[in-house]
Amino acid sequence: MILNQAGTRRFKAYTSKHLDELLKRAGLGDEERLKVRAVATVLPFRTNAYVVDELIDWSAAPDDPIYRLVFPQEDMLPAADVAALADLLKAEAPNAEIQAEANRVRAQLNPHPAGQKELNVPKMDDEPVPGMQHKYPETVLFFPKQGQTCHAYCTYCFRWAQFVGDADLKFASDDIDQMVAYIRRHPEVTSVLITGGDAMIMGEPVIRRYIDPLMDLEQIESIRIGTKSLAYWPQRFTTDPDADSTLKMFEEVTNAGKNLAFMAHFTHPRELESPLVESAVKRLLDSGATIRTQAPLIRSINDDPAVWSHMWRRQLRMGMIPYYMFVERDTGPQDYFAVPLARAYEIFRDAYSSVSGLCRTVRGPSMSATPGKVCVDGVTEIAGEQVFMLHFIQARDPSLVGRPFFARYDPSAVWLTDLRPAFADRFPFEAEDALLPA
């Protein structure tokens, strides 16, 4: 491993060209490795030395949860598609032929869920604004061009389409002036979420280009940074060459009177165990930033209430704020990872009931669906009918926020579109002419 002058490890990425050798460490045979490589032609693969050497228990692979979190599995895609791609790889077919087949499979995986391209892209002077999303009135998402990768990719990631090399599937922009101009035209915008990819893949001089202009906007109350770096590369805040200058910049943000919030993704308790993570968290908190934690509920990785209660308690002790348990989105290999909503609610309830009130800042299970963030509040019986109780935490239509509504109980439902309204002809977010069949 390459060392820098401080004696700490430099970042080293592993990509699909390293995949076969890494799969051997998991004890996979030739045919199994071929099928995993076939899946990796469709879904992106990237990890790094910290994840490989510090987080994965290779003696438990391929069942180890961190291994499953970053390595493709052969049954993530339909068997016929995997077989077709494996045959092409085995025959050493031209790359163009392999990519054409991979693109065909990708097209079936709903690469942009929840209206990301159709409904969320804002306009200025009747022209779409690249690299931005504006779904909720007070919040704008910005996708900096230099931040559209990650230290490692999660196999469940709903933004996998950002990473497959297809420009038509990407959100990205480096037009800072356009971002500022759009925000100025929309005084209702009080919060900007810098996201990706992972904003913390960028170095301090690049991040500063996006953050400094936001500090000058009086209407902006909070700047959020979406990141998995605390779990996948905590060195970003401790020993990376620009760690100190990055933290100094964050102090400038908080000293300017802006709330700086890190939306940190922790999917499994093992990601919290390293002393490096504790040090990184402490340094971030010392800068004046807050850290709110979130992750989706993922089958075979964290679908156990004890996992979540352990994570939330550990996060609280470290000074972080448990924030969201998400439902796996309707994109990519959803069928592989999804947990039925009824079971998701049970897991959340059991975990929630076993932690103190200070951990109960967490919300969920929440679906980031087309009309907004829908929370499953429970399962109950009303007038002899078993139903889901739900409400909007956030909504495209602000009048829906906080309004309870009901759906018929369906033990197999995994997403909002699987549900049917109870006690009404339609859900409150549906137009009158969009009645669903009984």
Give the model confidence (pLDDT) of 340-397 as tens digits.
Answer: 999 999 999 999 999 999 999 999 999 999 999 999 999 999 999 999 999 999 999 9
Q: Which residues of the chain have pLDDT under 70?
A: 1-9, 111-118, 158-171, 332, 432-438
Answer yes or no: do 77 and 142 share one domain. no
Answer yes or no: do 165 and 284 share one domain. yes
Domain end position, chosen among 80, 108, 136: 108
Average pLDDT, the chain: 90
Structure confidence at residue 118 (pLDDT): 65
Answer yes or no: do 242 and 127 share one domain. yes
CA dihedral of residues 208, 211, 213, 219 (deg, nearest 10) = -170
Answer yes or no: do 132 and 164 share one domain. yes
Answer yes or no: do 51 and 128 share one domain. no
pTM: 0.91
Closest CA relative to residue 143, chosen from 182, 180, 195: 195
Answer yes or no: do 132 and 238 share one domain. yes
**And the tokens for 377?**
């509040």
Structure confidence at residue 80 (pLDDT): 93
Structure confidence at residue 45 (pLDDT): 92
**And the tokens for 242?**
């620009």
**Is there a domain that residue 391 lies in?**
no
- Distance, in Å, from the CA atom of 50 to the CA atom of 271, rounded to the nearest integer, reads 11
Answer yes or no: do 39 and 146 share one domain. no
Number of domains in the chain: 2
Structure confidence at residue 161 (pLDDT): 64
Q: What is the CATH number of the domain that holds 151?
A: 3.20.20.70
**Residue 145 near residue 88 (C-beta atoms within 8 A):** no
Answer yes or no: do 82 and 141 share one domain. no
Structure confidence at residue 6 (pLDDT): 36
- Provide the residue range defining the domain that includes 30: 13-108
Domain end position, chosen among 108, 142, 177: 108
Answer yes or no: do 154 and 94 share one domain. no
Q: Is 376 exposed, middle or buried (0-12, 13-18, 19+ CB in 10 A)?
A: buried
**Is there a domain that residue 131 lies in?**
yes
Answer yes or no: do 101 and 140 share one domain. no
Answer yes or no: do 69 and 127 share one domain. no
| Cα-based distances in Å from 335 to 78, 109, 223, 331, 369 | 10, 10, 34, 9, 17
79-82, long-range: CB < 8 A, 24+ apart: 81/42, 81/105, 82/35, 82/38, 82/39
